[in-house]
Amino acid sequence: MILAGVVMWGLVSGETGDRDRVEALGSRIRCPVCQGESIVDSPTPYAQDILAFVEEKVGEGWSDERILAYLEDRFDGIRLDPRFSGRTVALWLLPMAVAVSLAFLATRRLMSRKRLFDE
């Protein structure tokens, strides 16, 4: 019980492990001249410029959302985690749809004894 308490306390009070804001934000921004790399991972000058911009704006106290919105206005599809919208609905819903339909199928087909007697 004491141990469980210690672990619970650790979990509740623990750090989320987020790196500093610039890096966390940068890893969500796509390097426009690379293939699917974030501006944190890419060594290209273009990416480094954008990262420097993000750093500057974080320093000026802009919120994450404001920085992302600013960049989204200027670059097409700049986010590596596209926001949930009409167009990205397929991306987010496909795995969920698969999960729900599989769970439904499994319980329906494997658990219903009634069908077994019908057949």
Partner 1 sequence: MIAWAGLGSILAAMAAAAMLAWRCFPALTGRGPVDTSRTRWPVVWLVIGAIGAMAALEGGLLFDDFSIAYVADNHRTGTPLIFTLAAGWAALEGSIVLWGLVLALFVLSAYKVMSRAEHPLTGGTLSVLGMVGLFWFGLMATVANPFAICEVASEVGCAVSAWAPWTPIDAPLEGRGANPLLQNHILMAIHPPVLYVGYVGFTVPFAIAMSSLAIGSSGFAWLDLARRWTLLSWGFLTTGIVLGAWWSYEVLGWGGYWAWDPVENASFIPWLLATAFIHSSVVQVRRGVLQTWNYVLVIGTFAATILGTFLTRSGVVASVHSFTQSSIGPVLLAFLALVLVSSLTLFALRVHLVGSPPRLDSLASREGAFLLNNLLLVVFAFVVLAGTLFPLAVEAFTGDTVGVGRPFFDRWAVPLAYCLLLTMGIGPVTPFRIARARVLWERLRTPLRVSLVIAALVILVVSRNRHLIIVTLLASFVIGAIGRHLLTLAGRRVAATGNRTLPTIVRLVRGDPGYWGGQISHIGIAILAVGISASSNLVTAGAIDLTPGDRQPFAGYELVYETPFSRTEPNRTVVGARISVMRDGRQVARLDPRLNDYGGMSGPIITPAVHSTFGGDLYISLTRLDQQGLQADVWAYPLQWMIWLGGLVTASGAAFSLAALRRRSADRSEAIRA
Binding residues for partner 1, rule: CB under 8 A, are 3-4, 6-7, 9-11, 13-17, 19, 23, 27-28, 30, 32, 35-38, 41, 43, 76-82, 87-88, 90-91, 94-95, 98-99, 102-103, 106-107, 109-113, 115-116, 119
Beta carbon of residue 88, minimum distance to partner 1 (angstroms, whole number) = 7
d(CA 24, CA 45) in angstroms, rounded, equals 19
Beta carbon of residue 27, minimum distance to partner 1 (angstroms, whole number) = 6
d(CA 58, CA 84) in angstroms, rounded, equals 24
Per DSSP, the residues of 91-114 read HHHHHHHHHHHHHHHHHHHHH-HH
